[in-house]
Amino acid sequence: MRELVLDTETTGFEPAEGHRIVEIGAVELVNLMPTGRSYHQYINPQRDMPQGAFEVHGLSEEFLNDKPVFAEIADAFLDFIAGDRLVIHNAAFDMKFLNAELDWAAKPQLGPEQAFDTLSLARKKFPGAPASLDALCRRFGIDNSARTKHGALLDSEILAEVYLELLGGQQPDFALATSSESSDTGGQMPRAPLPRRPAALPSRLTEAERQAHDAFIASLGEKAIWQSYSRK
232 found inside a domain: no
Which alpha helices (H) appear in the chain, and where do they start and end?
51-57, 61-64, 70-81, 91-104, 118-125, 133-140, 152-166, 179-183, 207-219
Catalytic residue among 19, 57, 89, 150: 150
224 found inside a domain: no
75 found inside a domain: yes
| Cβ-contact 43, 67 below 8 angstroms | yes
152 found inside a domain: yes
Q: What is the pTM of this model?
A: 0.73
Q: What total number of domains does the chain contain?
A: 1
Q: Could you tell me the CATH number of the domain that includes residue 59?
A: 3.30.420.10
188 found inside a domain: no
Q: In the annotation, is 150 catalytic?
A: yes
**What are 144-167's pLDDT values in tens digits?**
898 878 999 999 999 999 999 999
Tell me which residue range forms the domain holding 87. Answer: 2-183
6 found inside a domain: yes
| Cβ-contact 64, 89 below 8 angstroms | no
**What are 46-65's pLDDT values in tens digits?**
999 999 999 999 999 999 99
227 found inside a domain: no
**What are 113-141's pLDDT values in tens digits?**
999 999 999 999 999 999 999 999 999 99
Residue 41 pLDDT greater than 80, yes or no: yes
Q: Is 56 helix (H, G, I), strand (E, B) or coil?
A: helix
Phi and psi at 163, nearest 5°, equal: -60, -45
201 found inside a domain: no
Sheet order of strands, 2-10 included: 33-42, 21-30, 2-10, 85-88, 115-117
